[in-house]
Structure 1
């Protein structure tokens, strides 16, 4: 088969994939077919079926492909700067969309969407990242920001900067989140200590710390697992001791 006929065959296959998507969305698509169609945006005149298969073979899952560094992606045969860029661009757009759709939504009715955004944006990162979500008095989400990166503890997160940003947003409540690059969802002693420190500072500033989420292979909520209740009791005890002194 000469090059012109091969390209026409590939174009027909991609057209059929596009028609399927327009008719039914991603329903019925395999992970390889989704990646194949995505890669074709970066290299429209190239057969992307084999590179898509090799990506899934190398990284083991659809999500891991999107979390891989650009340099690592380009180690796969058929992945170059253009279609490697397409993968990272789509990943960034998805993260932006998930963040933007939270604005104005009440956390109590949107906690699952918050977890989805955090999992998408933080899972697979090679270093720890600390994110704060700011909420108003009705617990509607105002915005979210990354406030620290690297090894996280009470000395690197800078609680006073978090309080300062909360006041600038006119926030009434906060949700904090950080990732475990290992994938573990078990809170460390340092995680619990940091939560207690921030919760106490929030109480003094008449702010609520609603939850601390850990992102790894899924998500872990301090609130859902009862840890926030014990943190609040300790904060109240500390406040009462301070008032009596």
Structure 2
């Protein structure tokens, strides 16, 4: 009969637990005890990957994802085809990673819907950045508001290329009238990361204002988001 654990593990039918099992428990314990602030970006990503890859050491994969994309936020918002380029990342991992981005968007959207949009402006900015700042193509989103400035609808109008999205002012106003909206907030992202508005952004916004306001639809703002922050055309006095 084996006299200690070392002898026991050498017997047929017993296998030593993989080295990363203890690491997983220690990481979970740190998260339970101290929260996410106690973990680096790659460690937080490890926790995300544990369920998707239960029989694999995920630390090298998490480190590679952070090295490639730059941060936790950028990694969880990365397109599936780019995530798949990282060795060890398959469908299960992509779903787990995508769930984090989806959950963050759902939470921030809920915070916007709880109060009037203009009284929860920081929540609006958080939502816009969460949903769009890390996208690799330009997206143009409209928040349609009622007369109490509460959200009626949040619609992604167009998806373009890395530096251009086709926007049709009359279609935006038409949709606003269909929804009986009395105001809109326009949002789009700059995949370059720099949210500084271009001349094209300014001209397009002024065109929408010129068509919308005579029909009773106010343009509260046009927000541009990027990895490096956000810009408000209203705040910059460009509209």
TM-score range (shorter-chain normalised) is 0.7 to 0.9
1:56–1:65 Cα contact (<8 Å) kept? yes
Change (3 A) 1:104 1:171: farther
- TM-score, reference length from structure 2: 0.84
Question: How far apart are residue 100 of structure 1 and its match?
Answer: 3.0
1:33–1:52 Cα contact (<8 Å) kept? yes
Change (3 A) 1:99 1:4: farther
Show the counterpart of 1:5: 16
Q: Which moved more, 1:123-132 or 1:17-26?
A: 17-26
Show the counterpart of 2:236: 225
1:104–1:141 Cα contact (<8 Å) kept? no
Q: What is the rounded CA distance, in whole Å, between the counterparts of 2:60 and 2:69 in structure 1? A: 14
Q: Which runs of 5+ in 1 are unaligned?
A: 229-245
Question: How far apart are residue 104 of structure 1 and its match?
Answer: 4.0
The answer as to 2:66 corresponding to 1:50 is: no
Question: How far apart are residue 134 of structure 1 and its match?
Answer: 1.2
Q: What is the rounded CA distance, in whole Å, between the counterparts of 1:221 and 1:59 in structure 2? A: 26
Question: How large is the Cα RMSD of the aligned pairs?
Answer: 2.3
Change (3 A) 1:127 1:27: closer
Correspondence for 2:154 among 144, 150, 160: 144
Correspondence for 2:108 among 76, 87, 98: 98
Number of residue pairs matched by the alignment = 225
Q: Which runs of 5+ in 2 are unaligned?
A: 1-8
Question: How far apart are residue 209 of structure 1 and its match?
Answer: 0.4
Question: How far apart are residue 42 of structure 1 and its match?
Answer: 0.7
Q: What is the rounded CA distance, in whole Å, between the counterparts of 1:55 and 1:111 in structure 2? A: 32
1:11-22 to structure 2, matched below 5 A, reads 11-22=21-32
Q: What is the rounded CA distance, in whole Å, between the counterparts of 1:218 and 1:102 in structure 2? A: 19
Correspondence for 1:163 among 153, 173, 198: 173
1:55–1:76 Cα contact (<8 Å) kept? yes
- TM-score, reference length from structure 1: 0.82
Change (3 A) 1:222 1:14: same
Question: How far apart are residue 179 of structure 1 and its match?
Answer: 1.2
- The Cα offsets for residues 191-232 of structure 1, whole Å up to 9 and x where unpaired, read as 11111111111111111100001112211001111112xxxx
1:135–1:171 Cα contact (<8 Å) kept? yes
Secondary structure of the corresponding residue to residue 203 of structure 1: helix
